[in-house]
Amino acid sequence: MIIGVPKEIKNHEYRVGMVPASVREVIGHGHQVFVETNAGAGIGFTDEDYIAAGAQILPTADDVFAKAEMIVKVKEPLAEERVRLREGQLLFTYLHLAPDLPQTEDLVKSKCVAIAYETVTDDKGGLPLLAPMSEVAGRMSIQAGALALEKSKGGRGMLLGGVPGVDPAKVVVIGGGVVGSNAARMAVGLRADVTILDRNIDTLRRLDSEFQGRAKVVYSTVDALERHVLEADLVIGAVLIPGAAAPKLVTADHIKRMKTGAAIVDVAIDQGGCFETSKATTHAEPTYIVDDVVHYCVANMPGAVARTSTFALNNATLPYIIKLANKGYKQALQEDKHLLAGLNVIHGQITCKEVAEAHGLPFVDAASALNG
């Protein structure tokens, strides 16, 4: 199979779909890889590094999309990239379609085969291709929140962990999954006063066992969420419904009643955000203020630590890239129900129920659409 790796063009996005080691691995299976020039420059890989791994370098994204049977990316294709997709071409990347109607419509129109990293499942009920970036984003959320609390950023002027004789900041993490647990670990490590809210009793038990009292775990009700959010100095939004738009758990009224200079970090912003006042921001302008509350809502948070993120992502995606290339997408999807769960769009049909419901568009079962 001919695989194409274009350079990412989202604001301050330096990650790349495949590192040279991944390219070498795929070529070892008998496939060709075309990489856009300077695709890996943001994380220290030169065109010569890719050539040494066996790739061929092409001068433009147009060339890469035109040659490739499978496009491997990191972030969802922007409008100028979507026009390059063609019928039957395989797209393997993060998509986050539920809050993005224009992208959904363009992928349907292109009749490409779009597999989303974030909805591929595993036999443990996890999301193996989302987990690495969730780990990164969860850990980064505390760094971002700590900066947002600084007075120069509009925050309360608080140090997360306090100092001897001074109270630490109150950090509330909404959601105890991969993002939330990683955020809590970082916040606890900085000696903040941490509370985690979740509705899954098993998750709460696991977190309680892990933190041994260093973080409070609380069952999330409307009342508990309101109470803890209003008491918080920093709130981390870490809620995920696979494939679907994130629920708006923190309302505009909550934001109005929060402490002056408090901060929120909405890690769910890729799926629309779980704060009613959230809107996607970029690394160039990461924060804005609503009702004296600092909002950090960067839609590609792991892009800020692009080298770490790229290696973590490649470790997870490489086996799937090889499987798709070796078997072709049809056989690979037919044989692997977990990979099939990643299929969001094929031949003009939406095969992710949550995406179809979010936009009021027709849904077709993935297996039925795949078979014709």
Tokens 């912003």, located at residue:
269
Number of other residues whose CB lies within 10 A of the CB of residue 327: 15
Number of other residues whose CB lies within 10 A of the CB of residue 164: 4
Active site residue 270: yes
HSE of 336, CA atoms in CB hemisphere, 13 A: 21
Active site residue 29: no
> Residue 271 is encoded by which pair of tokens?
């799926």
As a whole number of angstroms, the distance between CA 339 and CA 366 comes to 11
φ, ψ for residue 226, nearest 5 deg: -60, -45
In single-letter form, the type of residue at position 284 comes to A
- Give the H or E element holding residue 171: strand 170-174
CB 192 within 8 A of CB 200: no
Question: Which one of 96, 228, 254, 359 is the catalytic residue?
Answer: 96
Question: Which one of 106, 193, 266, 270 is the catalytic residue?
Answer: 270
> Residue 207 is encoded by which pair of tokens?
């977190």
Q: Which of 87, 88, 80, 33 is nearest to 61 (CA)?
A: 80
Largest CA distance in the chain: 68
Residues classed as catalytic: 96, 270
